[in-house]
Structure 1
Amino acid sequence: MSTTLEGKVVLVTGASSGIGEATALALAAEGARVAVGARRADRLEALVRKAPGELCAVELDVTDQRSVRDAVARTVERFGGLDVLVNNAGVMLSGPIGGADTTEWTRMVETNLLGSMYTVHAALPQLLASRGSVVQVSSTSGRIASAGNGVYAATKFGITAFAEALRQEVTDQGVRVVVVEPGFVATELADHITHPTMQAAAQSIGASMRTLQPEDIANAVVYALTQPDHVAVNEILIRPTDQTR
């Protein structure tokens, strides 16, 4: 029998758009109390206004450890605990390795990889106390690296490695760790690419297939989190049917 999310407390990072926003809405619809975190406070307030159920906005920059700790503390203060962390904040700045602007590498590593690590570290005491769950949003790029996406893929491979080590450390204490690996999703992620060729390639790929929608990934998160306590769905790989790699 599936478990319910009614009354569970969830913190979703990167919740101002795309997968994070859709996941927050889906979890709220299931009865969870959701803290939505991101840097774009205006978007978070708009999300709170339109969402079903009980949401609160917490301004959050995952690259800043103090900001992360404060967001966890505000979530616990508002809702009395923390049952689920959905680590979704991320940025994709595709481009070839040769001639790259390495400040973009730093931004990806700090946001995608270190940001998710910082958030786990800050949330873990609460999650251990509640025997909760961690959802790490990775990517198919965390399984298959491709030319032009070397550093992005490295951050996603890193997320998978960190999540597996975390799983081994906490699973016997009742904390479940879930890695969700989406393929091509219709979100703003590719809009941040500054390399013209890679930007055009991303747009072309998106136009060539029936892309996933953010809600498709949100549904997968809900599925994993509503399994009975003795069932750990550790990994979900979800691609568009039309995606070959």
Structure 2
Amino acid sequence: MDTQDTITGRVVAVTGASGGIGAATAVELGARGAHLVLGARRADRLEAVADRVRAAGGTAVTVPMDVRDRADHTALVDRARAEFGRLDVLVANAGVGRVRPLDELPVEEWDEMIDVNLRGVLYGLAAALPVFRAQQAGHLVVVASTSGLRVVPGQVVYAATKNAVRTLCEGLRQEAGPALRVTEVSPGFVATDFVEGIGDERLRADYRAQRDEIALDPAAIARAVVFALEQPAGVDVNQVVVRPTAQG
């Protein structure tokens, strides 16, 4: 299958697009001729990613946003429609992970993960779903995590949010009907800023060492997103799990 033919001209909004998996996905799709609407909080880094998309052959506009704000999702979708006349795909990629034992009771960190990882996806769905229904076509891609498949100490609440997202994707798939596609992509250890969000210095050092030894390049996850998007009508790739071969 020629992915250029299936991706070219499609309008894709990506949250968390200023770095890591979101940036890699934007550039990968830009190289295939997609029109990108990029959302993230860090406006300067977002513009740098948009420049990379344009250099790769795609079209990109940016929308500074916080996925915890429902109105920002509406602005992202509205920008896609204003610039390109439609929205074909929403890649709900923005996420945050905090690693601490439950006994430390980091309640504010729990709230942050729930707000970004779960509510952030729900708000994106609330903005995009009416557009998809009106178009009678659309594709929601949610970046989850293998932490939602294998729970480990220190990542319990993070894993809970990712399990909730997996449940949301499966429920939407069952309700969606033939016009809407739903894909959950669950990455394993990827070389992103995830490690820098770990508050405990010892744990952060351990995770950095593991990242440097086995982590995947974010481009590997971007290619998984492309695989789901390039499928012909009537084919819905619902779950993709991508791990380093060395990950336990």
Aligned to 1:17: 19
**Contact 1:83/1:130 (8 A) holds in 2:** no
1:194 aligned residue (190, 199, 205)? 199
Deviation at 1:130, TM superposition (A): 4.6
Q: TM-score, normalised by structure 1?
A: 0.95
Quick check: 1:183–1:239 contact (8 Å CA) kept in 2? yes
Distance in 1, matches of 2:148 and 2:126, equals 21
- Once the two structures are TM-superposed, the CA of residue 164 in structure 1 deviates from its matched residue by 0.5
Contact residue 178 and residue 234 of structure 2 kept, 8 A: no
**Kept in 2: contact 1:9–1:34 (CA 8 A):** yes
Aligned equivalent of 1:147, options 153, 168, 176: 153
Matched, 1:70 2:75: yes
How far, CA to CA, are the matches of 1:10 and 1:83 in structure 2?
Answer: 6
Q: Which amino acid aligns with 1:141?
A: S
Q: Tell me if the contact between 1:83 and 1:126 (Cα under 8 Å) persists in the aligned partners.
A: no
TM superposition shift of 1:201 = 2.4
Q: Which secondary structure does the structure 2 equivalent of 1:233 belong to?
A: coil
Q: Secondary structure at the match of 2:206?
A: helix
What is the alpha-carbon distance in structure 2 between the residues aligned to residue 22 and residue 131 of structure 1? 25
> Helix, strand or coil for the counterpart of 2:232?
coil
Equivalent residue for 2:41? 39
2:235 is matched with which residue? 231
Q: Distance in 1 between matches of 2:143 and 2:113?
A: 14
Q: CA deviation at 1:195?
A: 2.0
Find the counterpart in structure 2 of residue 50 from structure 1.
Answer: 52
The 8 Å contact of residues 11 and 84 in structure 1, kept in 2 or not, is answered as yes
CA deviations 1:51-81 (Å, max 9, x no partner) are 2320001111110111111111112111111
For residue 244 of structure 2, what is the aligned residue in structure 1?
A: 240
Determine the structure 2 residue equivalent to 1:163. 169
2:32 to 30, 33, 38: 30
Overall identity of the aligned pairs, in %? 45
* SS of the residue 1:98 aligns to: helix
The root-mean-square deviation of aligned C-alpha atoms, in Å, is: 1.2
Whether the 8 Å CA contact 2:140–2:182 is kept in 1: the answer is yes
The unaligned stretches of length 5 or more in structure 2 are none
Unpaired segments ≥5 residues, structure 1: none
How many Å separate the matches in 1 of 2:209 and 2:131? 43
**Which one-letter code corresponds to 1:158 in the other structure?**
A
Matches of 1:232 and 1:68, distance apart in 2: 24
Partner of 2:181: 176
Pairwise CA distance, 1:197: 3.1
Q: SS state of the match for residue 102, structure 2? A: coil
Which letter maps to 2:158? Y
Q: Does 1:220 align with 2:224?
A: yes
